[in-house]
Amino acid sequence: MNLGKMDVFEFKDAKCNPDIIHPYTQNLKNNSVPIVIDNGSYMSRAGWSTSEAPVLQFKNIIAKPRKERSKKDTIEPIQIPQLQVGNDILNIEAVRFQLKTQFDRNVVTHFEAQEHLFDYTFTHLGIDTENSVNHPLFLTEAFLNPNTSRQLMSELLFECYGIPGVVYGIDSLLSYHYTQAKPLENALIINLGYQTCHVIPVLGNKTVFENTRRLNIGGWNVITFLHRILQLKYPAHAAAVTLSRAEELLHTICVIASDYKEEMKRWTDNEYYEKHIKKIQLPFSSASTSSALTLEQQKERKRELARRLTEINARKREERLAEDQEKLRQLLEIQEIIDFGADKDEVDNILAEYQLRNVNDLQKSILNLNMKIEKIKQKITAANNTEDLEEPPVKQAKLSKMVFENESALHSFLDNIKKMKQDILNKKLMRKQRKQDIFKRRTAAGQERMRIISQLARKEKGNDDFGMRDEDWDIYKTISKDGGDSDSDVENEKLLEFEEILRTHDPQEFDEHANLGELHQLHVGIERYRAPELIFKPYMSGSPEAGLSEVIGYVLSLFGDEDQLKLAANVVVTGGLANLKGLRERLLVDLISIRPFRSEVNVSIMGDSSLTAWYGARQFVRSGEFKKCLLTKNMFEEYGPEYFKTHVASNIYYPTPNESLIDVDV
Amino acid sequence: MSVEEQKLEQQPVFKASSFQQNKSTKKKNVWKGLKQIITSEKALPWPDEVVHYSSINAPPSFKPPEKFSDLSGLPAPYTDPQTRLRFANKDEYATIVDLPMDITAGYLALRGATSIVG
């Protein structure tokens, strides 16, 4: 069937596109149009309040390469490694270990990183005014953001960027109140974020802060969980299964089961498994396969290398020979001159030129050279002979097919080999079994071992004749870890040999291994359900927290019956994970099971859930509210750095109790 | 020196160049983590009605955790006493037996079951 191939899914490995610096029009500049930033722990979305959609969308991360620790005496200027921010990072996996974010869970704590990210945002929005960003700002923050974090944020915005004013708001509340035409005044908002999930009750358009609950688990946890299960399932491909790929899988094939146990039961059925399994092709290079494919070629290459080496050696020898012969010729010439009877000074001069002390030395060198030349000549002839000897392939005989009289002879031969191979494999298996048994109590092997050990340990004075016979010592072999004998090298070699014989004579046997593509496939079945299930069962990763449905039930239980009805009638889901398939059905099933019989339960998912917070914030800015809630620089200086103005979609303001702080009269 | 200079060059025009946060602490690049922030927040004498970041943590689960196979995720009635891994059927047990130590340890760590007591 061709269908099987069609089902294979491939990673897109989407890369970021670097952001352009957007035009800073006169209109934006002169009217000081407000900037809207949804500063989420996964992504930041930024734009003007007049723009149709966020102008910038990037992951809230920076990659800061480590400074090279240069030596002090180098004169060259120290190269400062380039800091990469947001969409500058084209391949996240390449800089995975240098990534930093300003977030700790869902709260901004690392303001140096935040500063880099604001730099990036404002630069790419095109702002070029000197010494200030002359636009009021709307910024989202965490639910119940600690005062410390907000204070540092305000300091950064007012003192570093000189913005005229800021309004803080909560992302999920903005999505609820400002993106719907007519939001009901009672709702149970479920926000599924990257780091945390919130269950936020809203009664009469007022957020009930004290009954809100936060699950410290989010998309990030699901991604790492999926990443780890797949790595453990495919240890050979551990490096190829990256976090970005796990993220891609989460958003493409993961589903939330409406009944997890039922779903699991279905997966035990083989047919269901085959039908619903997702096969994912990992990239692989077929180049590496060729080496494994033909042993012949490998050998040929080796022989080629050897030949080249001998050639080089031969050439070197010949060069040396020629050199020596030349020197000999020169020395013989000097000898001749001397023999002719030249005067002493001239002889000395010539000798000095050749670094010889006297005539004796000369004769000695001539003798030495003669011997050397003779030796090299011998070597060359020897090398030529061995080359001839080496040429005939020694090992080829072993590999080439043996010739058999007929088919049946071949078959019986192969069967024999197979049987021998199986024998060795069986032996290995037996040994492994024994090895396991020996360490378990209540197995025959284990008890026998204990019996022998206790016998050995028993001290009997007088009649200890242990060690008199050589066989006595064998007892230590039987109680050793390996339980007698271990897998020997000889056996392993035999096994390899048998496999080789089978490969040459019966290649079909090994055909299944030939398809490398299949070896590089991930089969993702139950994992598709298992990973997102983490939100409902945090104990799967060892967290003691209650799951999402349980928390919803808990939050509802904090209200009176009447309010419970109002809340359950309007459950709204937002956040990046809200788009997961099956989420709505699951929540509905779980809610119905905890609600009174036939009471009203509605679950709705906000469309395009990862951007609704930004649209909500923009809507807020466009409404009249924005001017009223703006925290201006004057207020910041007057009321203290942690002060901010509240509104329907904001946190509440609790001044930090501290004697040193001036009491604020609001 | 050169580090400082280059930093200044990179500064976008819209920033106040004199600004430096975190001046109170001598060491640069030291930021309080969320945990530290929460603990120092808790130590203050807040009025009773105040709700904090730390007071809206989800409650612990009141249901007994179900057991799922570490390998497949199927409901797992069995535990291998040697590796402490959970498994659903005999095929899975056969694979568990062959697993190297790092993989079994990885599975346990994933489930958060690495403590000797648990």
Contact B74, B68 (CB under 8 A): yes
Beta bridge partners of A529: none
For residue B18, give both structure tokens. Answer: 């004199």
Provide the pairing of β-strand A107-108 with A103-104. Answer: antiparallel
Q: How many CB atoms lie within 10 A of CB A540?
A: 24
Which of A208, A217, A173, A259 has its CA nearest to residue A567? Answer: A208
Averaged pLDDT for residues A338-355: 77
- Residue A57 phi, psi dihedral angles, 5° rounding: -140, 115
A60-100 tens-digit pLDDT: 999 987 766 555 555 555 556 678 898 988 888 888 888 99
Classify A55 as helix, strand or coil: coil
For chain A positions 18-77, those within 8 Å of chain B (CB to CB) are 77
- Give the gap in angstroms from C-alpha A526 to the nearest C-alpha of chain B: 7
pLDDT band at A461 (very low <50, low <70, confident <90, very high): low
Q: Is the pLDDT score of A134 beyond 80?
A: yes
A201-254 tens-digit pLDDT: 999 999 999 999 999 999 999 999 999 999 999 998 998 999 999 999 999 999
Q: Do B73 and A527 touch (CB under 8 A)?
A: yes
- Residue B99 phi, psi dihedral angles, 5° rounding: -70, 140
B20-48 tens-digit pLDDT: 665 554 455 578 899 999 998 888 888 88
Q: Is the pLDDT score of A434 beyond 80?
A: no
Please, which residues have CB within 8 angstroms of residue A230's CB and are 6 or more apart in sequence? A241, A246, A249, A522, A524, A527
- CA-to-CA separations, A245 to A14, A217, A227, A252, A519, in angstroms, rounded: 9, 20, 8, 10, 18
Chain B hits for A663, CB-CB cut-off 8 Å, are: none
For residue A37, give both structure tokens. Answer: 């930033």
For residue A1, give both structure tokens. Answer: 């069937």
pLDDT band at A393 (very low <50, low <70, confident <90, very high): very low
Averaged pLDDT for residues A44-62: 93
**Distance of alpha carbon A499 from alpha carbon A510, whole angstroms:** 10
Residues in chain A: 666
Averaged pLDDT for residues B81-106: 89
Residues in chain B: 118
- CA-to-CA separations, A382 to A314, A385, A468, in angstroms, rounded: 11, 5, 57
Classify A159 as helix, strand or coil: helix
Give the rounded percent of residues in chain A with a pLDDT score beyond 90.
Answer: 45
**Distance of alpha carbon B18 from alpha carbon A159, whole angstroms:** 9
* Cα atoms in the Cβ-side hemisphere of radius 13 Å centred on A503: 17
Angle, CA of A35, A126 and A56, to the nearest 5° = 60
Contact A624, A591 (CB under 8 A): no
- Give the gap in angstroms from C-alpha A630 to the nearest C-alpha of chain B: 21
Q: Do A161 and B34 touch (CB under 8 A)?
A: no
ipTM above 0.95, yes or no: no
Which of A112, A124, A156 has its CA nearest to residue A137? Answer: A156
For chain A positions 179-238, those within 8 Å of chain B (CB to CB) are 209-210, 212-216, 225, 228-229, 231-233, 235
- Give the gap in angstroms from C-alpha B38 to the nearest C-alpha of chain A: 8
| Side chain identity at residue A65, one-letter code | P
Q: Which one of A260, A533, A539, A558 makes the best mutation probe of the B interface by having the most chain B beta carbons within 10 Å?
A: A539
pLDDT band at A666 (very low <50, low <70, confident <90, very high): very low
